[in-house]
Every structure is written in structure tokens, then in C-alpha cells.
């Protein structure tokens, strides 16, 4: 059983399964986000530690996706600040946030439908390619070299996620489950420090869910990628995550290990529901 | 059975991502290149050059340019005619201001001038999308044409208001002006087209091309994975206008010889190139060739068939020609909304498995 006191210390903690969790990677401080009169997020603070799988759960409309959008720079909170790698992050455009090593997937798949799987994943490696317009136009020097180096990296991810057979297929032709996997591949291709997953299991069957769980755990294990996860499948959340934030109506109502959250009165009332005898 | 990829294994990523991965395609392409460079110059005559081949080559360059903007980056533009005019007037001003400068350099510079004008008129694309952007580029079309017809400086105060290309030579052969021969006109346009197609292919296969396509397919997702929309859209406008400017310069200097902005580069030119791109296939280099072929060569072939083949009177044939081309466009778009390039792709996919499709 994990002690929450230890988790809030500076040097991280060891998970029950023996993984070492590092210091604070990102800290949300008193975030408040309003859309006109509607308060989507109200004064929420929590931290994300290096190497952990952090889940955000809550009923529909609780503000989970808004929170992810704040992290990825798509929304700018009216109050509060985001501390990333020890520094207060200034107001940034989403593409600048992406360049700082934050990649994400979307609740409703946001792949580039007109491109092949390979091109989609290669797009994720954008920041690892520096050739300028003229080098690319002449396919000279850096341009062709980078293309091959990055292709090799992308192939590793393709192997890792077991999508070799659909490499050249246009994304529009893929079934839903595979699209979700390609989207994960695209996010991974950026070699992110923090990976944000917005409902990665939504609409999947049991088998696909199991696959996806395995991939998320493997990614965390092999690359040590810090993962922030929104998910409604409680079994998945409780199994995968190291710590869980619970939100309801834009407020934080719980934060802690899966066991702590599961037994929290308020969380049960708001979200998990009471078991009827 | 000639056309297949079975047994054609690739052992490196370079080989796997080449332009023509299937051997038969590659040989077909080499054959076409050889034919265009070695055989065509021997057989081409004035009629074929003026009626078919030179306009086909020039409009293919324009279609390549517009295809990058619309087909790859998803930004609708109706200003093609005006951008061609910028290329033409830029070329004219450079030709007359620096008579010693080689015409090839002049045309490339005209392309760069058009690229910068294109970036300027591409700025609204950061705020507005789709049809609204089309209307904004339409404003560019009318404004630029108005500018070129009203400002005498652009046509060097010539009393007719026309610009006419003086004679310029490449390796001693006149390529512009009245003394230019069919072969030299053909060769300079062909060289520009081959280089432009190669550049377009390189730009669309790499990181920049993927950024454009990402913006086209889903701009919000593109931004969140790290595409800078400002850079992506403006480079698309710049590259697209560069090609269109070169096409405009060639059209004026090599093909027409003399031009007047409103007449040669009106809104009908914008639509002509737009139709080429749509009929040929959005987001495909081959589509630019196919679309230009369909709209430039198609009418001439039809006329040859009706007048020379069936012996119909010319005026009747001219009207029927327009109707038939119009009908063909409709039929094509209903059968294959993604253009000739998509049709070609489907044929190739079928051919790969032929004769055992299971």
C-alpha cells in the first residue's frame, strides 16, 4: 500500500510493482478556466511526476478534457499557472507546447485521413526534422538523410505497436481500433516527455482494450514516458494508473492512489456509485 | 503480368520511399522522359507546339502550383490568373530592365517575385477558411489585374497597354520573341516543367509536404502535434505562387509573346487551372499532368476528330466541342470525384493483382 505522504515528497516514490517514480514533471497550480459565464475548471491543483501513469477521472462534463486542453495549450486558463520542468510556462500556442515534448491523442480520433499510416506517424516526428525549404525542394543533404533516419525510428514504433501490415494503408480505410493505435503511434513518434491520452479505450471491444492497456504499460515501461490518461473504464484506470485525480463539475474531489480513491466517500457518491446490495 | 510488385523486395528505406516503387512504372517514366527529350524535338512542328504541346506544358506547371495550395494544403484560391500575371509582368520588367540577364534566371526571379506576392495575399488564410478564403483570393485577382492595367509603369508606358517579350536566347537559340522556333519553345517549357515537377515531388514527399497535408486534413490536430499553421500555410502559398509565377512568365514570354493583363490573365484563367486541378485529382502530382492534358489537349483532339475525321463544319464542331468537354467533366466528376489520378490509382491497384484478383 502506497503512502500519499511519500508521494508528495521531493524525491518521488517506488510503486508497488517496483517502478521508480521521479520528481515533479508538471504542476498545475490553481487552474481556473471559464468560457463566458460557465466555469469549466475551478481552482484545481495537482502534479504529474516523471515516469508515472496519472489518470484523470470523473463524470461527463466534469472538465477532464478541458484540463487536457489546458495542458496541451489549446485553452488558456484565466487564473493559475502551469509549472513545467520547474519553470512557469508562459502563454503558448499548441504547436509550441508540442515542441516542448508534450504529445497527445484525442477523444474522437484526429488522424489525417488523407494520408497513409506511415505518413501520419512521420508527421509526429516533425520536430526531429530540421531541413529547410530549399534543402527539401532539392532533396539535398539534410532533407533526404533526415527522412531515412526518422523513417527508421518510425519503423521501431510501428514494430512496437504491431501495425506493420497497415503501414502503407490510407488511414481512412482502417477500422476504429486500429485508428486509435495509429494515433498512439503518432503521439509516440514525437518521443514525448509527457503523453496525454484522452479516452484511449473509448468504443473498443474487450480484446482491443486489453491490447491498448498492454501498449500503454509497455510504453511507460520501455521508454519511461510519463502518461496522463482520461478514461471511463474504471477497471482499466484502477489497474493502470499510479495516481488518480477525480473531478466533478470542474472541481477536484479526490486525488491519490487507486485504492485511496476507490474508498473515498465523496468520490463514490459523485462518480463510482454505491454498490446496491 | 508485366505490372506487379510481387518479388520486388525493398531492402532499404530509401528504396522503399522512392517515387516509382514498381519497376514497370519506373521504366515507363524513363521511357516518357526519353521520348519527351529525344523524340519530340525531332517531330514537333509549329502547329503542334502552339496548339497543344507548349500550352499543355505551361498549364501543367500552373496546375502543379495550384495543386500544392489546394490539393496538398487545402487552401482554396481563385487568384491563379492574377498570380500568373504577376509572373508575366515581373518577367517583363526584369527582361526590359536587365537585357543582359539570362532568360532562365529572369523567369526564376519572376517566380520568386510571385512567391512574395502570394505570401502577402496568403496572409488572410490564417484567419479565414474555405469559401471565404476563396473570396479573399478573388479580391487579389481583381485588384492585381486592375493594378497592372492602370499603372503604366508595369507596361513601360507603352501606348497600347500591352507588354511584349523582346527576343532572348538560350545557348544561341532564341526562345522568346518572334524568331523563337517551335523546338526551342518546347524545350525551355519542358525543362522548366521537369524541374518544377521534381521540386514539387520533393516538397510533397518530405516533412513540409506532410505538414501541408496535416493542415488540410485536420488543422486543429495538426497544430496540437506541432505544425505551425502560419508557417505551413504561408510556405504553401509561397511555393504554389512560385510555380504559378513561372507558368505565367512562360505563358507570356514564350507562348503568347505579347499580353495584356485583363485579357490574358483574367478570372477565366483562374477557373481553367482550378478545373485542371479538380479534374486531374487533388493532392497528386500526376493529377496536375492529367488535368492539364484533359483540358488543353482534349478539346484539340476532339476538334481533330470532328472536323478532320468526320468532316463536320468548323463552327458546329467548335460548339459541340465545348458541350462535349463540359459533359465529360460532369461524367468524370460523378464517376470519380477524386479525379483522374484516383482513377489511375484504382486501375493500377487492379492491375497489380491481375489476372488473379483473389
CB B128 within 8 A of CB B136: yes
Whether residue B207 and residue A112 make contact (CB cut-off 8 A), yes or no, is no
Q: How far is CA A227 from CA A103, A192, A209, A223, B196, in A?
A: 10, 10, 17, 11, 45
Which residues of chain B have a CB within 8 Å of the CB of A106? 221
Domain membership of residue B125 (yes or no) is: yes
- Average pLDDT rounded to a whole number, residues B307-329: 83
The reported pLDDT for the residue numbered B167 is 85
Whether A261 has its CB under 8 Å from any CB of chain B: the answer is no
Distance CA A245, CA A46 (A): 8
Selecting from A94, A138, A186 the residue whose C-beta is nearest the C-beta of B223 gives A94
Place of cell 523486395: B9
Whether residue A190 and residue B226 make contact (CB cut-off 8 A), yes or no, is yes
Selecting from B214, B217, B224 the residue whose C-beta is nearest the C-beta of A74 gives B224
The reported pLDDT for the residue numbered B317 is 82
What CATH number is attached to the domain comprising B207? 1.10.3470
Residue of B21 and B37 predicted with greater confidence: B37
How many Å lie between the alpha carbon of A40 and the closest alpha carbon of chain B?
21
CB B348 within 8 A of CB B3: yes
How many Å lie between the alpha carbon of A123 and the closest alpha carbon of chain B?
6
Domain membership of residue B305 (yes or no) is: no
Quote the mean pLDDT of chain B: 87
Sign of CA dihedral B63, B67, B69, B75: positive
CATH T-level assignment (fold) for domain A1-101+192-277: Rossmann fold (3.40.50)
Whether A122 has its CB under 8 Å from any CB of chain B: the answer is yes
How many Å lie between the alpha carbon of A147 and the closest alpha carbon of chain B?
7
Which residues of chain A have a CB within 8 Å of the CB of B222? 112, 123
Residue B104, SS3? helix
Q: Which residue of A has its CA nearest to B227?
A: A95
Whether residue B226 and residue A148 make contact (CB cut-off 8 A), yes or no, is no
Domain membership of residue B201 (yes or no) is: yes
The reported pLDDT for the residue numbered A5 is 38
Whether A70 has its CB under 8 Å from any CB of chain B: the answer is no
Whether residue B13 and residue A155 make contact (CB cut-off 8 A), yes or no, is yes
Q: Which residue of A has its CA nearest to B201?
A: A137
Give residue B195's domain range: 22-266
Percent of chain B at pLDDT exceeding 70: 97
Whether residue A119 and residue B17 make contact (CB cut-off 8 A), yes or no, is no
Domain membership of residue B307 (yes or no) is: no
> DSSP letters of B215-261?
HHH-HHHHHHTT--HHHHHHHHHHHHHHHHHHHHHHIIIIIISEE-H
Domain membership of residue B298 (yes or no) is: no
Domain membership of residue B216 (yes or no) is: yes
Full pLDDT tens readout for chain A, 277 residues: 333 434 444 567 787 777 778 888 899 999 999 998 888 999 999 999 998 999 999 888 888 889 999 999 889 999 999 999 888 888 889 999 998 899 999 888 889 988 999 999 999 888 888 888 888 888 888 888 888 888 888 999 999 888 888 888 889 889 888 899 999 999 999 889 999 999 888 888 888 899 899 999 999 988 889 999 998 888 888 888 999 999 988 888 888 888 888 888 888 887 777 655 5
Number of independent structural domains in chain B: 1
Q: Which residue of B has its CA nearest to A155?
A: B13
The reported pLDDT for the residue numbered A8 is 44
The reported pLDDT for the residue numbered A274 is 63
- Band (pLDDT 50/70/90 cuts) for residue B174 is confident
pLDDT digits (tens, 9 = 90+) for B243-278: 999 999 999 999 998 888 888 899 999 999 999 998
The reported pLDDT for the residue numbered A275 is 57
How many Å lie between the alpha carbon of A117 and the closest alpha carbon of chain B?
12
Whether A100 has its CB under 8 Å from any CB of chain B: the answer is no
Ordered by start, the domain boundaries in chain A are 1-101+192-277, 114-190
Distance CA B28, CA B24 (A): 6
Determine which of A191-200, B85-94, B324-333 has the lowest per-residue pLDDT on average. Answer: B324-333
Q: Which three cell numbers, joined as nine digits, stand for A200?
A: 484511449
Exposure string over B240-262, b if 16+ CB within 10 A, otherwise e: bbbbbbbbbbbbbbbbbbbbbbe
Enumerate chain B positions whose Cβ falls within 8 A of a Cβ in A.
Answer: 12-14, 17, 199, 202-203, 205-208, 210-211, 213-214, 216-218, 220-229, 235, 239, 283
How many Å lie between the alpha carbon of A54 and the closest alpha carbon of chain B?
20
- Band (pLDDT 50/70/90 cuts) for residue B299 is confident
pLDDT digits (tens, 9 = 90+) for B125-169: 888 888 889 988 999 999 999 999 988 898 888 888 888 888 888
Kindly state the DSSP code that residue A229 receives in the 8-state scheme. E
Kindly state the DSSP code that residue B44 receives in the 8-state scheme. -
The reported pLDDT for the residue numbered B5 is 64
- Band (pLDDT 50/70/90 cuts) for residue B194 is very high
Which residues of chain A have a CB within 8 Å of the CB of B216? 112, 114
The reported pLDDT for the residue numbered B119 is 94
The reported pLDDT for the residue numbered A3 is 39
Domain membership of residue B346 (yes or no) is: no
Domain membership of residue B188 (yes or no) is: yes
pLDDT digits (tens, 9 = 90+) for B331-351: 877 887 788 888 888 888 887
Q: Which residue of B has its CA nearest to A92?
A: B224
Amino acid at each position: 500500500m502506497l503512502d500519499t505522504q511519500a508521494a508528495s515528497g521531493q524525491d518521488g516514490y517506488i510503486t508497488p510493482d517496483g517502478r521508480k517514480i521521479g520528481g515533479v514533471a508538471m504542476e498545475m497550480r490553481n487552474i481556473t478556466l471559464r468560457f463566458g459565464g460557465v466555469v469549466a475548471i475551478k481552482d484545481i491543483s495537482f502534479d504529474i511526476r516523471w515516469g508515472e501513469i496519472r489518470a484523470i477521472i470523473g463524470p461527463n462534463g466534469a472538465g477532464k478534457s478541458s484540463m487536457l486542453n489546458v495542458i496541451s495549450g489549446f485553452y488558456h486558463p484565466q487564473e493559475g499557472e502551469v509549472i513545467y520542468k520547474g519553470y512557469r510556462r508562459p502563454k503558448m500556442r499548441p504547436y509550441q507546447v508540442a515542441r516542448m515534448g508534450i504529445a497527445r491523442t484525442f477523444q474522437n480520433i484526429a488522424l489525417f485521413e488523407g494520408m497513409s499510416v506511415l505518413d501520419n506517424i512521420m508527421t509526429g516526428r516533425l520536430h526531429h526534422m530540421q531541413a529547410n525549404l530549399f534543402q527539401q525542394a532539392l532533396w539535398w543533404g539534410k532533407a533526404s538523410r533526415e527522412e531515412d533516419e526518422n523513417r527508421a525510428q518510425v519503423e521501431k514504433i510501428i514494430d512496437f505497436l504491431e501495425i506493420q501490415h497497415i503501414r502503407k494503408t490510407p488511414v481512412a480505410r482502417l477500422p476504429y481500433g486500429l485508428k486509435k493505435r495509429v494515433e498512439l503511434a503518432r503521439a509516440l513518434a514525437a518521443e514525448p516527455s509527457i503523453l496525454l491520452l484522452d479516452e484511449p479505450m473509448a468504443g473498443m471491444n474487450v480484446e482491443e482494450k486489453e491490447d491498448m492497456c498492454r501498449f500503454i504499460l509497455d510504453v511507460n515501461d520501455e521508454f519511461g514516458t510519463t502518461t496522463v490518461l482520461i478514461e471511463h473504464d474504471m477497471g482499466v484506470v484502477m489497474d493502470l494508473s499510479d495516481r488518480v485525480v477525480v473531478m466533478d463539475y470542474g472541481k477536484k474531489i479526490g486525488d491519490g492512489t487507486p485504492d485511496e480513491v476507490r474508498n473515498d466517500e465523496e468520490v463514490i457518491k459523485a462518480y463510482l456509485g454505491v454498490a446496491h446490495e | 503480368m508485366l505490372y506487379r510488385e510481387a518479388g520486388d523486395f525493398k531492402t532499404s528505406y530509401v528504396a522503399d520511399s522512392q517515387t516509382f516503387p514498381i519497376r514497370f512504372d519506373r521504366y515507363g517514366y524513363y521511357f516518357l522522359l526519353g521520348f519527351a527529350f529525344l523524340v519530340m524535338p525531332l517531330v514537333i512542328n509549329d502547329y503542334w507546339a502552339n496548339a497543344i504541346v507548349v500550352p499543355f506544358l505551361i498549364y501543367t506547371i500552373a496546375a502543379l502550383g495550384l495543386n500544392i495550395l489546394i490539393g496538398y494544403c487545402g487552401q482554396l484560391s481563385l487568384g491563379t490568373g492574377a498570380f500568373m500575371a504577376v509572373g508575366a509582368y515581373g518577367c517583363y520588367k526584369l527582361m526590359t530592365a536587365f537585357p543582359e540577364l539570362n532568360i532562365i534566371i529572369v523567369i526564376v526571379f519572376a517566380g520568386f517575385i510571385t512567391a512574395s506576392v502570394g505570401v502577402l495575399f496568403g496572409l488572410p488564410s490564417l484567419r479565414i477558411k474555405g469559401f471565404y478564403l476563396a473570396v479573399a483570393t478573388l479580391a487579389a485577382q481583381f485588384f492585381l489585374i486592375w493594378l497592372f492595367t492602370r499603372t503604366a509603369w508595369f507596361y513601360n508606358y507603352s501606348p497600347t497597354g500591352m507588354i511584349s517579350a523582346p527576343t532572348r536566347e538560350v545557348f544561341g537559340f532564341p526562345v522568346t520573341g518572334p524568331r523563337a522556333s517551335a523546338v526551342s519553345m518546347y524545350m525551355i517549357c519542358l525543362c522548366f516543367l521537369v524541374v518544377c515537377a521534381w521540386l514539387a515531388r520533393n516538397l510533397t514527399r518530405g516533412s513540409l509536404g506532410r505538414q501541408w497535408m496535416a493542415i488540410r486534413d485536420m488543422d486543429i490536430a495538426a497544430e496540437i502535434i506541432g505544425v505551425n499553421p502560419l508557417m505551413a500555410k504561408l510556405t504553401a502559398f509561397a511555393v504554389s505562387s512560385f510555380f504559378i509565377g513561372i507558368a505565367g512568365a512562360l505563358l507570356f514570354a514564350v507562348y503568347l509573346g505579347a499580353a495584356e493583363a485583363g485579357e490574358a490573365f483574367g478570372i477565366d484563367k483562374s477557373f481553367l487551372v482550378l478545373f485542371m486541378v479538380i479534374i486531374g485529382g487533388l493532392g497528386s502530382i500526376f493529377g496536375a499532368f492529367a488535368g492539364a492534358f484533359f483540358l488543353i489537349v482534349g478539346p484539340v483532339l476532339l476538334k481533330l476528330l470532328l472536323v478532320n475525321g468526320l468532316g463536320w463544319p468548323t463552327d458546329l464542331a467548335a460548339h459541340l466541342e465545348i458541350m462535349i468537354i463540359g459533359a465529360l467533366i460532369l461524367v468524370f466528376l460523378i464517376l470519380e470525384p477524386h479525379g483522374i489520378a484516383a482513377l489511375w490509382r484504382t486501375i493500377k491497384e487492379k492491375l497489380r493483382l491481375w489476372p488473379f484478383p483473389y
